[in-house]
Structure 1
Amino acid sequence: MIRTANVLTTPAERPSPAQDRAQMIGVGTAVSPDSYSQQEVLDTFAIDDARIRSLFLNSAIQRRHLTLPPIDADGKRVMESQGELLDKHKAQAVDMGGRALTACLKDAGAELSDLRHLCCVTSTGFLTPGLSALLIRELGIDRGCSRSDIVGMGCNAGLNALNVAAGWSVAHPGELAVVLCAEACSAAYVFDSTMRTAVVNSLFGDGAAALALVAGPREDALSAPRGPRILSFESTLITDALDAMRYDWDDAAGKFSFFLDPDIPYVVGAHAEEVVDRLLGKSGLRRSDVRHWLVHSGGKKVIDAVTVNLGLTRHDVRHTTGVLRDYGNVSSASFLFSYERLLEELVTKTGDYGVLMTMGPGSTIETALIQW
């Protein structure tokens, strides 16, 4: 069990600055059951437009997990209504989210009964009550568990949620918080013959990821290795590109349709230096002091633009490109898929700095500085 720290009354008993920081102590991921290559998706929907095929096949994505529409008596995919897509979102978010949360707690050496705050992120459907309430009921989590839901902030929202949960952890030392990003991107597709929808349809996949946090002392029962502490956050809102990534209502399709401006990679790249240097400057650091970069797998052009503008190497973004290759863009969960892969390498050392970076609607860049 995790206990709440005793009230500290003297300077000698107060925690060090490091103990005042939230610490990342466990991570877990999950995906929907079925995966498809880009060619298989093209074949499934009989897409023969050369421009759209090129978009799919030159995306740097090999496979994605997707929950495709059902098949009718003629073997064709049935286009789903907005209501059916919302039902799909709910079912997938609860399923993937529950599995990611369970894996995360196991990695942290914790139990469901230890969980005191659950912060859920979804961008691919709307739920009221939110995903946090549904998971508390589904998994039998203590009904006294505090919760928050972040909806509609898009691919950057994982770091917005981490900021919220890290603050909660510091205010409740010794108690366990979890950030859970569950994105059923299959529930946010419109299928037509336009390049607008093709850009989105070629990119996103289903996935969920959870991250466990605690600040202050922990009991020995939590035997998972201590991960990095979260030092600070910085963000920037690019107001000139407010409409570059957005949901619009499509009257013809009778559902919401996501729009991505073709210039968004260059917009994000052009503003990456500003926010990262502001983040590092607060701690007296330079980019060369950062050993680990965990950048959102937003798409090949986005990754290339950020890499060039920040002066990163292919090795620096190896997990970003690897997640894009194997899962596509899993929206707000993407950076945690990369973080899990970094931990699996066993290359981090005490004192190493890392930068987490996500991008999404707004247009927004969110960053966090961590240290092992």
Structure 2
Amino acid sequence: MTLTADLTVPELICLPAPDAGAPPAAAQIVGVGTAVTGTAYSQRELLDLFRIEDPKVRSVFLNSAIAQRHVTLPPRGEDGAFLPEPQGDLLRKHRRVAVDMACRAVRRALADAGAGLTDVEYLCCVTSTGFLTPGLTALVIRELGIDPSCHRVDVVGMGCNAGLNALNATSAWAKANPGRLAVMVCAEACSAAYVMDSSMRTAVVNSLFGDGSAAIAVRAPEGVDAGPAGSLRILGFRSILITSALDAMRYDWDDEQHKFSFFLDPQIPYVVGAHAEQVVGELLAGAGLRRRDIGHWLVHSGGKKVIDAVRVNLGLTRHDVRHTTGVLRDYGNLSSGSFLFSYERLLRERVVAPGDFGVLMTMGPGSTIETALVQW
């Protein structure tokens, strides 16, 4: 018997080797959600409720370009007047209001992303309106039932610019962990950070801020996945710390009032405006872009004069900052999460096209300007 064997080598299917030098995919914002406290008050209503009759203070409130704000009012005494809130009461208010708003915003962001609480593997919480230990991340994880092994970061005390500082950290984690979901939430109970006296210093602050929270879900695509349609790619960040204006925005202890008190220098709009062009120019130059290439501008709703200073120095139109001014009008300054309220409004317009570039900008204590370049 003769045995034969077929020694023909089968044709091999050659797959391209993975490109070890290919950069990881950019992190993407895949969901957004916002939340506020229950009741909105007009500026005139707040003046009347607090029985403020000083014409100069009333003028500050009524010329702020703010129509209404969501605030959490103090308890009332027997005569109907608001009772004083010592610092301990304000900290308890901060915890109650911030946790409630944060949880609602996170749920909405996850629903927008088509994800659930069990998908969250990283949580970053941002606040400047109160100090808590353990921080908001621990409280939100317990309240929502998020996996307690979730990675977490608390960004506390950085002020109105902190949303972009936190987004930088959150997007970096997502980029390093493709396919895994990160959530960032800004929760600012500004009603828990105020001082009432007869000075113009506190009048400006008390006329400006409102309670609000904004959350986003962030994920970097895995493999060849391009991510969901309409998601926002985070391309890069640029910031500047204006050390010559370090004390121009402060939240420090008031010995007379026995509370923390926020201070805003009247020159802040001009300081921010004068440096906006530099930091935006550096952000765009890193990507080979110019201002005319940017289709969408989402700027922190820091106040009428701040917005005008940024708009003029960057050569923007009123239409470019329509959502910034709209959020200021309807909510006041929401601190770290303001720019995400503008982002949510932009998405609802349905005017964004694939490939459009955008710039996110926040400003706060330091004095600081934070920016991010994004693309749909």
Relative to the length of structure 2, the TM-score reads: 0.94
Match of 1:297 in 2: 301
Give the one of 297, 315, 340 matched to 2:319.
315
Distance 2:66 2:274 in 1: 24
Distance 2:183 2:64 in 1: 32
1:44 aligned to 2:49?
yes
After the TM superposition, which residues 147-226 of structure 1 pair with which residues of structure 2 at under 5 Å, given as runs? 147-217=152-222, 225-226=229-230
Identity %: 68
Q: Which structure has the bigger radius of gyration?
A: 2
Match of 2:133 in 1: 128
Match of 2:40 in 1: 35
SS in 1 for 2:101: helix
Match of 1:93 in 2: 98
Distance 1:250 1:185 in 2: 17
Match of 1:54 in 2: 59
After the TM superposition, which residues 206-355 of structure 1 pair with which residues of structure 2 at under 5 Å, given as runs? 206-217=211-222, 225-355=229-359
Note if contact 1:279-1:367 (Cα within 8 Å) is conserved in structure 2. Answer: yes
Kindly report the root-mean-square deviation, in angstroms, between the aligned alpha carbons of the 2 structures.
1.8
1:359 aligned to 2:359?
no
Match of 2:111 in 1: 106
Note if contact 2:213-2:337 (Cα within 8 Å) is conserved in structure 1. Answer: yes
Amino acid at match of 1:244: A
What do residues 300-328 of structure 1 show as CA deviations (whole Å, max 9, x unaligned)? Answer: 00000000000000000000000000000
User: Structure 1 residues 110, 81: closer, same or farther in 2, change over 3 A?
Assistant: same
Match of 1:3 in 2: none
Report the CA distance between 1:228 and its aligned residue: 1.3
1:12 aligned to 2:48?
no
Distance 2:224 2:95 in 1: 35
What do residues 1-53 of structure 1 show as CA deviations (whole Å, max 9, x unaligned)? Answer: xxxxxxxx974366965x52100100000001111000001001111111111
What do residues 112-132 of structure 1 show as CA deviations (whole Å, max 9, x unaligned)? Answer: 000000000000000100100
SS in 2 for 1:154: coil
SS in 1 for 2:217: strand
Note if contact 1:25-1:108 (Cα within 8 Å) is conserved in structure 2. Answer: yes
Distance 2:252 2:295 in 1: 39
Report the CA distance between 1:356 and its aligned residue: 0.1
User: Structure 1 residues 144, 77: closer, same or farther in 2, change over 3 A?
Assistant: same
SS in 1 for 2:73: coil
Give 4+ residue runs of structure 1 displaced > 3 Å after superposition. 9-17, 223-226
User: Structure 1 residues 218, 298: closer, same or farther in 2, change over 3 A?
Assistant: farther
Distance 1:75 1:171 in 2: 55
Report the CA distance between 1:224 and its aligned residue: 5.9
* Gaps in structure 2 of 5+ consecutive residues: 1-14
Note if contact 2:230-2:354 (Cα within 8 Å) is conserved in structure 1. Answer: no
SS in 2 for 1:39: helix
Give the one of 49, 65, 68 matched to 1:63.
68
Match of 2:9 in 1: none
* Gaps in structure 1 of 5+ consecutive residues: 1-8
Distance 2:259 2:172 in 1: 36
Match of 1:139 in 2: 144
Amino acid at match of 2:50: F
Distance 1:225 1:211 in 2: 16
Match of 2:6 in 1: none
Match of 1:74 in 2: 79
Report the CA distance between 1:217 and its aligned residue: 2.5
Note if contact 1:295-1:335 (Cα within 8 Å) is conserved in structure 2. Answer: yes
Relative to the length of structure 1, the TM-score reads: 0.95
User: Structure 1 residues 22, 74: closer, same or farther in 2, change over 3 A?
Assistant: same
